[in-house]
Structure 1
Amino acid sequence: MQPWLHPFVSAARSDAGEWVLLCYRVPREPSTPRIAIWRKLKRLGVAQIGDGVVALPADARTREQLEWVAEDVVQAGGSAMLWTARPGTVADERRLAEQMAAARAAEYVQVRDQAVQAADGGLAALRRLRGELRHIERRDFFPPPERALARAAVEALAARAGADREPV
């Protein structure tokens, strides 16, 4: 296990935590609803367990978010079921959390790189990167070390742009 992983899946735990699973199937045609659902799931930061099966750590917010997506699936003529489940082992849960953390890490690296490249991008670039960072943090259930690096790069950009008094 990565030492930075969230306490939700810490090495000290002997049992796996609860997850909300959405099992869904969307008709291939028309493709617009299918793509919209895929984008919503991506914005939520779900872990892809299999074809038509995604998961998020269970809490009231994630359950409600997946309920909304399930309604969208049904409205698009598909089928959806929401489940609350526990992985069979803590190791399975760690793999799932690591998959999610790796996806967020890649997003944070992009933000960091853009902040470094936008050395003279001014306030517009700063606002865009701050917004992007907030969106990533909303779906970041297992913060990787890259999160701090991205925040530092955006803060450095703010200092260069003279806007370092505004919070990241």
Structure 2
Amino acid sequence: MEGTGTWVMLVYRIPREPSRPRIAVWRQLERLGVARLGDGVVGLPADARTREQFDWIADEILAAGGACTVWLSQPASPAQEQQVAAGMRAARAAEYQAVVTEAEAAISAEPGERARVVRRLRAELRRIRRRDFFPPAERDTAQVMVDALAVNDDRSPA
């Protein structure tokens, strides 16, 4: 297993009804940027933060009447880990591309509107970075576009 990192995995089942806890868990997992490895199996590169997050989610699943276990594991080969990482990288690339698209669209907006867009996009970049374990090239492009939009707004007449 040399050459692969340690991953924290959450294996869970949660009742379909009531749907509110199931949806809440799904949203939390999406915010974390998990790799969906199978039905009810998700993973993230292991660190103190991801382990703690999975432990909290596991508590919520148990409180909702579900079943779950948290595992520390390693992929069987570097190729398997690279495949999972590529999927996670592609998901973040799409999110960064959406930021680029929004920044491009805001270039022709009024100064006040551009300032609001810059604040919102900077917050969005922070949210994406928290779940960006394998940064794609689009990350830098998105940052450059938001910074350019901010500079463009700073140069606008007041």
Give the 5 Å matches for 1:75-94.
75-94=63-82
Which residue is 1:114 aligned to?
102
Please tell me whether residue 45 in structure 1 is matched to residue 33 in structure 2: yes
**TM-score when scaled to structure 2?**
0.92
Which residue is 1:73 aligned to?
61
- Deviation (angstroms), 1:83: 0.2
One-letter code aligned to 2:66: G
RMSD of aligned Cα (Å): 1.3
Point out the more displaced range, 113-122 or 85-94. 113-122
| Overall identity of the aligned pairs, in % | 54
Gaps of at least 5 residues in structure 2 are none
- Return the alpha-carbon distance in structure 1 between the equivalents of residues 9 and 58 of structure 2: 11
Pick the structure with greater CA Rg.
2
- Deviation (angstroms), 1:14: 4.7
- Return the alpha-carbon distance in structure 2 between the equivalents of residues 101 and 160 of structure 1: 30
Which residue is 1:126 aligned to?
118
Point out the more displaced range, 90-99 or 118-127. 118-127
For residues 40-88 of structure 1, the C-alpha deviation after alignment (integer angstroms, 9 at most, x for no partner) is 0000010000000000001111100111111111111111100000001
Which residue is 1:34 aligned to?
22
- Return the alpha-carbon distance in structure 2 between the equivalents of residues 23 and 92 of structure 1: 18
Report how many aligned residue pairs link the two structures.
151
SS in 2 for 1:122: helix
For residues 72-120 of structure 1, the C-alpha deviation after alignment (integer angstroms, 9 at most, x for no partner) is 1111111110000000100000001101000000000000100110112
Please tell me whether residue 155 in structure 1 is matched to residue 143 in structure 2: no
Which residue is 2:43 aligned to?
55
- Return the alpha-carbon distance in structure 2 between the equivalents of residues 20 and 146 of structure 1: 26
- Return the alpha-carbon distance in structure 2 between the equivalents of residues 15 and 124 of structure 1: 44
One-letter code aligned to 2:123: G
- Return the alpha-carbon distance in structure 2 between the equivalents of residues 74 and 98 of structure 1: 31
- Return the alpha-carbon distance in structure 2 between the equivalents of residues 32 and 118 of structure 1: 36
- Return the alpha-carbon distance in structure 2 between the equivalents of residues 161 and 32 of structure 1: 42
- Return the alpha-carbon distance in structure 1 between the equivalents of residues 126 and 9 of structure 2: 24
Please tell me whether residue 18 in structure 1 is matched to residue 6 in structure 2: yes
- Return the alpha-carbon distance in structure 1 between the equivalents of residues 22 and 2 of structure 2: 38
**TM-score when scaled to structure 1?**
0.87
